[in-house]
Amino acid sequence: MAATLWQAFAWWGPFSPKLFPGVDKIVSAFVRLMVTGILPVHAFWTLVRLVVGFGLGAALGVAVGMAMGRSRWAEDLLLPIVSVGNPIPGLAYAPLFVIWFGLGDVPAILLVGFAASFPVAVNTWTGVKTVKEIWIRAARSMGAGERQLFRKVVLPGALPYLLTGLRLGLARAWRVLIAVEMLTSVRLGLGWLIFGAREFLNTDVMLAGIAVIGLVGLGLEKLVFERLERFTVVRWGMLTA
């Protein structure tokens, strides 16, 4: 249905076929770039940046969120920063990061991590706050110390929110990453592929790149997060599927 509309627009719309390629052109560009290994290589490097950047950001976000949830002092100190920082689009910092860290992978990865850490921190904090008091009391009455309480009660108790935070953080990381790849001139990457293709009006390549971005995003959601949730919080009845 969407493909049909697209095709109709390509034929009868105001754009020339060069600027607005038909579905057939996009698919053939996609296949060509896949077979020649160009798309997989770009996608691979984008994913590497995503994994490293998001990994750093998630670790930072969980640590900050946990600290805020567990200590009044950390909450007073960090909550204003996190609250103000959270709604700012990560990309706004991109020029700063380029000035600080130059071009290439380093600013891209750091910015991705930085942008991802905010939703993770906010949701982890909320998660810790919603851990039921009665679980804490039950665990304490059975002799749980601070560490055991944290590992065996607070962490799993906060997991529904924590997973939501990771999911939002990953979505944000993904968005920032594609954009920042266009800005920091990385050597290989989907954002850079799309940006570079503009020079030669290779709209079919650009759209093939966009399709991969969509597919990867969908894959992360379906294969990683839905599974993670199904095996944990859904199975535990803490979240209805």
Partner 1 sequence: MSAAISHLELRQISYVYDAGGRAVPALQDITFGVGASEFVCVVGRSGCGKTTLLNILAGFLGPTRGEVRIGGKAVTGKGLDRGIVFQDFAQLFPWRTAQRNVEFGLEMKGVPRAERVETARGFLRLVGLEAFAAAYPHELSGGMQQRAAIARALAYNPSVLLMDEPFAALDALTRDEMQRFLVDVWRETRKTVVYVTHNVAEAVYLADRIVVLTPHPGTVRAEVKVPLPRPRDPLSVEFVEAQRRVLDFLR
Binding site for partner 1 (CB under 8 A): 132, 134-135, 137-145, 148, 152-153, 156-157, 159, 232, 235-238
Measured CA distances, 190 to 56, 57, 228, 232 (Å): 21, 21, 26, 33
C-beta of 20 vs 135, nearer to partner 1: 135
**Smallest distance from partner 1 to CB 70, Å:** 18
Q: Tokens in use for 114?
A: 């930085």
User: What is the nearest approach in angstroms of partner 1 to the Cβ of residue 236?
Assistant: 5
Min separation Cβ 226 and partner 1, Å: 18
106 versus 238: smaller Cβ distance to partner 1: 238
What is the closest distance, in whole angstroms, from the C-beta atom of residue 135 to partner 1 in the complex?
A: 6
Q: Which is nearer to partner 1, 88 or 138 (CB)?
A: 138
Q: Tokens 């920042």 sit at which residue?
A: 180
Q: What is the DSSP string of 204-223?
A: HHHHHHHHHHHHHHHHIIII
CA distances from 43 to 40, 81, 210, 224 (A): 5, 34, 11, 17
- What is the smallest separation between the CB atom of 140 and partner 1, expressed in angstroms? 6
We find the least distance from the C-beta atom of residue 161 to partner 1, in angstroms, to be: 14
Query: Cα(100)–Cα(118) distance, rounded to whole angstroms?
Result: 20
Q: Calculate the alpha carbon distances from 154 to 12, 28, 50 in Å.
A: 59, 51, 28
- C-alpha distances (whole Å) from 1 to each of 6, 109, 126, 217, 218 are 9, 38, 41, 22, 19
Give 198 or 227: the residue with its C-beta nearer to partner 1. 227
CB of 63 to partner 1, least distance (A): 21
Nearer to partner 1, 41 or 238 (CB): 238
Tokens of 86: 């959270």
Please compute Rg for the chain using Cα positions: 22
Q: Which is nearer to partner 1, 14 or 237 (CB)?
A: 237
- Contacts of residue 214, defined as CB under 8 A and 6 or more positions apart, other chains included, come to none
Minimum CB distance to partner 1 smaller for 120 or for 159:
159
Cβ neighbours for 138, distance < 8 A, ≥ 6 positions apart: none
